[in-house]
Chains A and B, each alone.
Chain A
Amino acid sequence: MTATLTGSGTATGRVDTVSAPRVFAAVLHRDLFVTWRELPTFLVQSLLQPLFLLFVFGKVLGTLGYTQSGYAQLLLPGIIAMTGFLNALQNTSFPLVIDFGFLKEIEDRLLAPIPTSLVAVEKVAFATMRALVGAVLMFPVGVLVLGSVSVPTGRIPLLALFLVVGSVSGAAIGLSLGTLVTPAKLNIVFAVILTPLLFTGATQYPWPSLERLRWFQVVSALNPLTYMSEGLRAAMTPDVPHINPALAIAVLLAFTGVFMALGTWGFRRRAID
């Protein structure tokens, strides 16, 4: 088919030529603006679950004598990893399923003068930012629940690196899920995916200690969350045996690469017929 439309410049004048980074910033600003207005909701969503996990497993079980002393400090990095990873995953996937499924609010941004794949990247960037806020807030929460949290000063860069890369990988997986899952299948897919991710991510114990349960160790090695938990443990509790941080970063980056590619493809598929 051929269709040609000629607009006139008479009234509307010149066409604003705007750079992609500015459009990207405007789209990101919209998401941050909306989050800022719903800050209490956002905080409750991000922090309530990790707070209770940390309280029950770190504080209550320890106080009752069911766990050894020092377990809480080993648990905290895992809970922080879980907070970052799952928040990033949920903050991309749920809104996208609903938006592409019925709201269609995103259409206005899909018509912004920016490549469609950059709108997908914006979703990942935004979810990562939300996840990082949640993960960082877990430090004061940790202090509140456990009394003290220690991070060796020299290891703060390593900590930051794993927080960021781990959250991005979670957001990339969320982008894939959010664009490949239909609203009708939302419940079942997330039940089947989220729960296993939550419990095979070596968040409640160091991965090397799973040697005694070899098959479960192998299963856990398939979960990107495992590498984020191990990376945070390497930064916060370096004395506990952990996966080599260089290896953990490499695996996380590989996961991110694969799921960003899949997710961007899925996003384009949903955005353009």
Chain B
Amino acid sequence: MKRYPKRPTNAVDGISFQVKPAEVFGLLGPNGAGKTTTVGILTTRVDLTGGAAYVDGIDVTRDPVSARRRLAVVPQRINLDRSLDARQNLIFHAAYHGVSSAERNRRADVLLDQFGLTDHATSKVDKMSGGQSQRLMIARALMHAPQVLFLDEPSTGLDPQARLFVWDRIRELRAQGVTVVMTTHDMDEAAELADRVGIVDHGKLLALDTPEALTRGLSGQSTVDLTVEAAEQDSAEDLLAALCELAEVERGEQVALAPGGGMPGMPPWMGGGGGPPDAAPPGPTGGPVRLRLYVAGEPAAVLGPVAQVLAGRSARLVGVQVGETSLEDVFINLTGRGLR
């Protein structure tokens, strides 16, 4: 628990979680939710007002020095040593952690190479681009071979290439057995990288699970949109009724045929109003219609039975679109849509 003086509420108030070895753990939350404070506590930079925090079995309040041996931090803001060049930043960091001279030179060369910075080894750090600085900060954090790496919004402000690069490095670290704790408000990043995600808001932990379980748990349903052409003697209503009899399908409705084939990947709440799209009048017989099925389990599992029903009624399937709830929906659902 953390309460700042002169503030009416706790910045971090009862966030409890355990991170497994070699896990990538994502702390997800809006600005000011308490993510950075939580990382600050775990990295010995913020004093606890109550509770306890352990890193690799070490109580960070009682023994911050031992904790610092085991952890490394990549903060949000660039805090590289501007009086030193890129390589010296790495070398001195390792020296602060007692890495021997030969070993720190070796590690610096390896990391500069790995992070594509060999050509910038002797660059002044204030001459480096944002992406280069970010990479150098991660390389610096790895110089003392930490057990636990904390990344505070690692890809904020990075271009797509740099972002993918950082993601790859994080996956590599996990493969090497390093535990990674990262904060982010980037849903894609959390869904892509994290083994488990904790959603934090107002200093409280609202949810904690794998990204898949979180998205599944939100509504318990995904949608499957079918664009079909019913057989001549069949009607869209009868077809929909037949499909709704499938065990996996909870309910179904006919929706307006999306112009141009719809907008794949658009989250459901962006449809306007937040509610389901208005039911559309039945399409002319013979033309394609769009049927939306709400399914409980895996949307892919329903496709087989759907195809059978359609084939049995001689309907032609023109298009399928699976609309899964995203982590973003979970996030918005838990933390609301108000601006921070």
Contact = CB atoms under 8 A, between A and B. Distances in A.
B47 to A, nearest CB: 5
Give the top 9 A-B pairs by smallest Cβ distance, nearest first: A18-B98, A7-B147, A8-B21, A10-B177, A112-B96, A11-B176, A11-B177, A26-B95, A1-B51
A6 B144 CA distance: 17
A13 B98 CA distance: 15
Contacts of A5: 18-19, 42, 54-56, 148, 179, 181
B41 A3 contact: yes
A12 B177 contact: yes
B18 A23 contact: no
Interface in B46-78: 46-48, 50-57, 64-66, 68-70, 72-73, 75, 77
Interface stretch (A99-107, A179-187, A234-242, A256-264): A99-107
Given A6-B20, A112-B96, A272 B46 contact: yes
Contacts of A272: 44-47
A6 B19 contact: yes
Contacts of B68: 111-113
B83 to A, nearest CB: 4
A107 B83 CA distance: 14
A105 B82 CA distance: 7
Interface stretch (B8-16, B154-162, B243-251, B253-261): B8-16
A112 B141 CA distance: 11
Nearest to A109: B96
Contact of B80 (A26, A33, A105, A110): A105
A29 interface: yes
A4 interface: yes
B99 interface: yes
Contacts of A7: 21, 55-56, 70, 146-148, 178-179
Given A1-B15, A30-B92, A12 B69 contact: no
Contacts of A3: 15-19, 38, 41-42, 53-54
A107 B57 contact: no
B22 interface: yes
B97 to A, nearest CB: 6
Nearest to A273: B46
20 contacts: A1-B48, A1-B53, A3-B41, A4-B53, A5-B55, A7-B21, A8-B22, A8-B147, A8-B177, A10-B177, A11-B176, A12-B176, A16-B69, A16-B99, A17-B69, A23-B97, A29-B95, A30-B81, A105-B79, A105-B83
Interface in A10-61: 10-13, 15-20, 22-23, 26-27, 29-30, 33-34, 37
A140 interface: no
A217 to B, nearest CB: 42
Interface of B: 1-2, 4, 12-22, 37-38, 40-48, 50-57, 64-66, 68-70, 72-73, 75, 77, 79-84, 92-93, 95-99, 140, 144-148, 176-179, 181
A271 B79 CA distance: 14
B14 A1 contact: yes
Contact of B96 (A26, A116, A271): A26
A4 B18 contact: yes
A97 to B, nearest CB: 16
Contacts of B64: 115-116
A189 B70 CA distance: 40
A153 interface: no
A2 interface: yes
Contacts of B19: 3-6
Contacts of A211: none
Contacts of B81: 30, 105, 108
A34 B84 CA distance: 8
A108 B79 contact: yes
Nearest to B11: A273
A1 B47 contact: no
A152 interface: no
B177 A2 contact: no
A114 interface: yes
A107 B92 contact: no
A34 B147 CA distance: 30
Contacts of A70: none
A101 to B, nearest CB: 13
A6 B180 CA distance: 10
Interface in A91-138: 103-105, 107-116
A23 B22 CA distance: 28
A9 interface: yes
Nearest to A103: B82
B59 to A, nearest CB: 10
Interface string A138-180: 0000000000000000000000000000000000000000000
A30 B91 CA distance: 10
Contacts of A15: 66, 69-70, 147
Nearest to B50: A1
B52 A2 contact: yes
Nearest to A17: B69
A16 B107 CA distance: 15
Nearest to B17: A3
Contacts of B20: 6
Contacts of B50: 1
B97 A112 contact: yes
A225 B65 CA distance: 37
Given A12-B178, A110-B45, A272-B46, A4 B144 contact: no
Contact of B92 (A11, A13, A26, A273): A26
